[in-house]
Structure 1
């Protein structure tokens, strides 16, 4: 019998089932919602896909809302000549351990023009096992261990991953799927359906799956970030106060809120902790908010990543302690929620089952940026875990 490593890798089409654009994404999101916020980045990429489908010839999906605001309409201009596929994996049966024979791995995957994200639905249960183990080792209660979101939890998970047959089997299934995805991306690139790059970028990978990625090849340095979320319900509760504060800032300080522009890209890149290309900077400003002085200088700003997480939040030193960071953050998050609802309203009745307490704005903060983490929590955002943005070097890099 051939060893696991010598078996041929199944093709993506054998492992993944596309989520039908014709049916829309709302019914799928309704099913995925019970796993939020654990799959929040995946959720954002589904919305990105839906927005792109709206703008693609032959796939026009128009809003049912005749009163759609000009601001919301402008946020949907995400033209993509080849819409990214969104997939739901088949239930991959675990066969590597007899005692785990009834367990199955269900994985959600989005392949966009620039990146891949995947969410194994067993993730929460496996992390809970690690947290419980961390609580025993550190003699802490489970809630404190979970809140700390430290290296300890990932280390305990990895320890269990080498001994627990169920976790071992889930990891094996994830490796098989990722191997298939990497081969599929190579096919897309070779066929001209994907830009020629030296690596494949993976968004928001939970710490627990990093060994599976490492097993496929060399990883770039990447970015490790803490995920923060805020519910639509909480954002709407604060909206009136945020609008009033923006009006006061304009009246008293002469600072006007509006979108970022092409001329702002280099300024944003120059001060950002993570280096962005000018090309990606153009994407970030598509959905953005900033305050400008009377002279037109951008003094506080925030934009959006591909997965609709908040990007590049910054306030110039001379303008701090005025509340500008909180205001651009909240106004941008509200814009994300309006866009999400606008898209969902066009894509199926099941969108109504995604409650205001489940739909969430999200943001990532580099894991050593403690001042920003404190700022996010003061603004009312909740910390939900650590994820990695990582590149996987492939053979095409040679």
Structure 2
């Protein structure tokens, strides 16, 4: 990352130093919708909290009317944003369901998707604010409309061929993909892993979007906290970014992204000679650690590549389940693998802090967020001393 010239940032004012009347004059309806989605609230819930009708909230969001100035502080309090959040004039990330690839789309409610899309939009807004100060890695993703290294160049439409070609373009060689998340960040893809404390994206599985100026992948925590599932999810979302310009939400796209992930992490021509001709879980466990994929996925790969029968694979899955808590077969926590944890945004902030004195409070003022929200998205701890009353 390189430092760029410090831009002149319009002064939006510190939290609470803009009058409700001034906010009313420049009220931006989409910001209300974004804040409501991020809060996970319905129009009816917001209306009840501020003492208006649900129809009135709907009119505020469409722009056919505006909330009275005296309502704005109450609205900000209910949605847990500064009142300045509702001001027009700031860059805004705008996404809809067709622009994001959600796994298990049918089991994800529209409210959960809206909340996750709001989170993704905020990630882009934070990225945009940092990119005005720091030169982030160029987008090196063939087929992505905003690609800076291969503009207008597409990968093959067939998943296995696309995975093979992307490995070649990224010079990944013939062996395992080391530090997959770091590799994706190094090629300009923004990745974030929301903490369990942030509900904005926690209720949906990992998802990706190519609908913003930078490709974006949200890696929500898997229930097993398993780095191998984490890596497969990242590769799966990478598959969506290079194969699918728009989301249809159908099983075919999910199958293609899975095929891409398997071929990207364990190319048949490289992994097949290493797989056992007879099912051997100890050998597969060694391969699992070397290639950064689960034993279960390697059993599937054996079956897929014709090295074992369906019945033999089924018996191997049963034996694997009995070993699921044993060393070598138990889930490996993601926290133990720094190269699989996103760092681009936090490192960009640290570089800007060192070079220009950027603070969380300054970013919060520019974005019209609460400082706590900036810290959550950056993964930056609050360094203030804690007062404990006894």
TM-score by length of 1: 0.23
Q: Which has the higher contact order (CA 8 A, sep 6+)?
A: 1
Which is strand-richer, 1 or 2?
A: 1
> TM-score, normalised on structure 2?
0.24
The structure that has the greater radius of gyration is 2
